[in-house]
Amino acid sequence: MKHTFFTFILVTLFFFTHAQQYETVKDRTGKNLLKGFVTDSILLADTVNYNWFAEHERAYTPGEAIIKRFSETKDSVTFLIFFGTWCADSHYVIPRFYKIAAQAGFDKKRITLFGLDRTKKDDAHFAANLAIAHVPTIIVLKNGKELGRVVEYGVTGRFDEELAAIVAAAK
C-alpha cells in the first residue's frame, strides 16, 4: 500500500508538472549526470554526454512477440523507471526499452524516467520509498498499482522478455 501511494504521487507529479525537472551535476569522475525527471529527448539531444543512448537504441531490434505484448497493453499500463546516466546497465537497457515502447506505439506520457546519482538517493526519497537498490529498475503499473518490476537485466538476463511477460498479465 505504501509503495502504491508513493508511486501514485510520483506519477501524478510528473503528469501535472509537464516541466522537465532535473538537474545536471558532475560526478566524482567529472562526467555530467542527470538527477530527477528526465526524458529520452534530453538524452538524445546531448550527443556529447549521452551518445550511448542513440548507439544502443540503433543496435537493438526487439522481437515481434515483445512488440505485440506491449502493443496490446499500451493504453492500460504505465512505466516508472529509475536509472543512472553513469550506469552501464542503464546505458544498455533504457535505450532498448524506449525502442520497444516506440515500436509498440506507447505514448511517452505513460513513461516516467527518473535519474539517480551513484548513491541512488534523491531529495524527495522516491527511490527509497520504492525500495530502489539497483538501476535500472523498470516498474510496470496498472491503475497506480505495481504489477511487477525488472531490475537491471532481469533474472534471466532478458529484461525485454521479462517486461513483456509482466505487461501481458495486465490484459
Question: What is the reported pLDDT for 122?
Answer: 86
pLDDT confidence tier of residue 24, bands split at 50, 70 and 90: confident
Q: Which residues of 66-95 are buried (b: 16+ CB within 10 A; e: fewer)?
A: bbebbebbeeebbbbbbbbbbbebbbbbbb
Identify the residue with better confidence: 6 or 106.
106
CATH number at residue 162: 3.40.30.10
Domain count for the chain, please give it: 1
pLDDT of residue 31: 85
The 10s digit of each residue's pLDDT in 145-160 is 999 999 999 999 999 9
Supply the pLDDT for residue 133.
96
**Per-residue pLDDT averaged across 38-63, rounded?**
95
The domain in which residue 57 lies consists of 2-168
